[in-house]
Amino acid sequence: MSGDQLSTIDTLARELTFGRGEMIFQEGDRGNGFYIVATGKIKVFKLSFEGKEQILHIYGPGHTFGEVPVFEGKSFPASSMALEPSTILFLPRDAFVDLITATPALAMNMLADLSRRLRAFTVQIENLSLKEVPARLAAYILTLARESAPDNDPEQMPGKVTLPISKAQLANLIGTTPETVSRIFKKMADAGLITVQTKDILIQDPDGLSELSDVGRL
Amino acid sequence: MSGDQLSTIDTLARELTFGRGEMIFQEGDRGNGFYIVATGKIKVFKLSFEGKEQILHIYGPGHTFGEVPVFEGKSFPASSMALEPSTILFLPRDAFVDLITATPALAMNMLADLSRRLRAFTVQIENLSLKEVPARLAAYILTLARESAPDNDPEQMPGKVTLPISKAQLANLIGTTPETVSRIFKKMADAGLITVQTKDILIQDPDGLSELSDVGRL
DNA sequence: ATGGAACCTTGACCTGGATCAAGACGATGC
DNA sequence: GCATCGTCTTGATCCAGGTCAAGGTTCCAT
């Protein structure tokens, strides 16, 4: 987004603060606006009938979320909660729709953003239905490493990553349980792929990890 | 879309024909345009390393698909194949981007369309990770029934639906195997929920089905 | 530093559903 | 009508990973 667009948005937005664990919206709520993370970290997730959780996204500063109902009408398809103390900008629907209608470049940005999100879901569905847990975990570690590489240059992938969330949240994100995450980390370590030190993961064998993320058998 | 927009699109589009089983595009292909189903039926899907398939969408006449690369740059995140002889309109990227930039209403339509698709993926992820196969199957049957209800009025849900795809494709769509689909249909019939006659499904107990789609235990 | 609350790990057990293999059914052409 | 091919069903077996239960760590706040 250009600086111009951002400053216009500033005048439209209301700033909200949430403590760790506070709900931002609930699945089924009528959405009359959407959100931008200013500081902190939030998750968007679904709960099953029995209370099991599947995380759909985890977003930090700069990310927008909750815009599906803005464009589609209807209600939020999932719920959202602050993972740590966070400040969130809320953009009311009507003013934003006016703005985006008047600003083709903003509309194109929004289309690109939703498209990226569709791609991300595509990958998540592939992971959940076509890969086993070891492959999903390997893929997650590699994604983390790639994201934190300077210039996103895969050649500069760091040898150490730090988990940005608890292992329990990580389990929910990749569609499994904390117990299983723990066991697979152990197996990966035994196989010489990584070393786990609390929240830090040393990547011993990037190629091996990469193969595991495709082939999936440990 | 208004008639005006459609006729403009007509002049931009190229018409393509595909036989049953023909590929429309492959995951990773550079997308320099997107598609509208004119007649026939197509699937969008991912393949695993070992060749297992997960269907992401099945689309009939009127649906657009393959627009993610148009807005995001990059390549198709999944592959697409004709399920029956189909005619497909292809819209080249550049002309369409010009048109959408000049036509705010069209941009809003596109945003609404992508938002609907995000919602659909949200449901699919929920199904894959939070529900067991019986619940997914029940949900699929109910979705079929609701879609074919007059005016989409749930009160008018028909007592019979006809599967629009083979049971093998259905299995791929809900993330399981033909064997399992067969067994669960049998159990549902034994429980008095439905009767299966080849491609026709008589819905005996809509409420029971609905409960199964939430609670998931048969 | 110390007590407590999250969070994480490990073990034992169990089950949903995948896989493999073989037959039944149904549609299509000859 | 009969052979053939694709689609579906049924049975037997197996295993990834979920669940339950019991310690072990880490991180705070006091």
Q: Token match 């070992």: residue?
A: B50
> What's the confidence (pLDDT) of residue B5?
54
Q: How far apart are CA A140 and CA A146, in angstroms?
A: 10
Query: pLDDT tens for residues A15-35?
Result: 999 998 999 999 999 989 999
Residue A10: band (very low, low, confident or very high) from pLDDT cuts 50, 70, 90: low
Which of B106, B86, B84, B89 has its CA nearest to residue B97?
B106
Who's near B14: CB < 8 A, 6+ residues apart? B89, B90, B92
Query: Nearest nt (C1') to B179 (CA)?
Result: D9
Whether residue A212 is predicted with pLDDT greater than 90 in this model: the reply is yes
What SS3 string covers A164-214?
CCCHHHHHHHHCCCHHHHHHHHHHHHHCCCEEEECCEEEECCHHHHHHHHH
CA distance B177 to B181: 6
**Per-residue CA distances from A196 to A167, A189, A211, B42, B134 (Å):** 12, 7, 19, 45, 38
Least confident of A3-7, A63-67, B81-85: A3-7
Residues of B in contact with A73 (CB under 8 A): 112
Mean per-residue pLDDT pooled into runs of 10, chain B (218 residues):
55 87 94 93 94 94 95 95 92 92 93 96 97 97 89 77 95 97 96 93 95 89
Interatomic CA–C1' length for residue B54 and nucleotide D20, angstroms: 33
Closest C-alpha among A93, A97, A116, A107 to residue B100: A107
CA–CA gap between residue B68 and residue B29 (Å, rounded) = 12
Rounded to a whole number, what is the distance in Å from the CA of A110 to chain B's nearest CA?
A: 8
Instruction: Note the strand C nucleotides within 7 A of protein beta carbons.
Output: 7-12, 16-21, 26-27
Q: What is the mean pLDDT of chain B?
A: 91
Residue A25 CB coordination number (10 Å) = 21
pLDDT of residue A155: 73
pLDDT digits 0-9 by tens, A94-144? 989 999 999 999 999 999 999 999 999 999 999 999 999 999 999 999 999
The whole-angstrom separation of Cα A126 and Cα B199 is 28
Q: Is B51 helix (H, G, I), strand (E, B) or coil?
A: coil
One DSSP character per residue, chain A reads: --HHHHHHHHHH-EEEEE-TT-EEE-TTPBPSEEEEEEES-EEEEEE-TTS-EEEEEEE-TT-EE--HHHHH-SB-SSEEEESSSEEEEEEEHHHHHHHHHH-HHHHHHHHHHHHHHHHHHHHHHHHHHHS-HHHHHHHHHHHHHHHTSGGG-GGG--SEEE-SS-HHHHHHHHTS-HHHHHHHHHHHHHTTSEEEETTEEEES-HHHHHHHHHH---
pLDDT band at A7, cuts 50/70/90? Answer: low
Tokens of B163: 């599967």
Closest listed residue to residue B70, CA positions, set A114, A62, A120? A114
H/E element, B186: helix B178-190
pLDDT at A2 > cutoff 70: no
Taking an 8 Å cut-off on Cβ atoms, the answer to whether B122 and A46 are in contact is yes
Distance from CA of B108 to the nearest CA of A (A): 7
* Residue A215 pLDDT class (50, 70, 90 cuts): confident
Query: What token pair was written down for B9?
Result: 């699109």
pLDDT of residue B79: 96
What ranges make up the beta strands (E) of B8-83? 14-18, 23-25, 33-39, 42-47, 53-59, 64-65, 79-82
Contact A125/B52, CB-based, under 8 Å?
Answer: no
Contacts of B24 by beta carbon, 8 Å cutoff, 6+ apart: B16, B18, B35, B42, B66, B80, B81, B82, B88
Write down the residue that tokens 């904390």 correspond to. Answer: A178
Chain A residue at shortest CA distance from B213: A49
Tell whether B152 is within 8 A of chain A (Cβ): no
Residue B91 bridge partners (DSSP): B34
Residue that has been written with the tokens 């589009």 in this structure: B13
pLDDT of residue B112: 96
B94 contact A CB<8A? no
Contacts for A177 with CB less than 8 Å, ≥ 6 apart? A171
Reported confidence tier of residue A187, pLDDT bands at 50, 70, 90: very high
Rounded to whole angstroms, the Cα distance separating A27 from A58 reads 16
Q: SS3 for B199?
A: coil
The total of other beta-carbon atoms located within 10 Å of residue A213's CB is 21
Q: How far is CA B211 from the centre of its chain?
A: 24
Q: What is the pLDDT of residue A148?
A: 84
For chain A, say whether B48 makes contact (Cβ under 8 Å). Answer: yes
Task: Give the separation between CA A188 and CA A136, rounded to whole angstroms.
Answer: 12
Crossing angle of the two packed helices A206-215 and A133-147, in degrees rounded to 10? 130
Q: Count of CB contacts below 8 A, A vs B?
A: 140
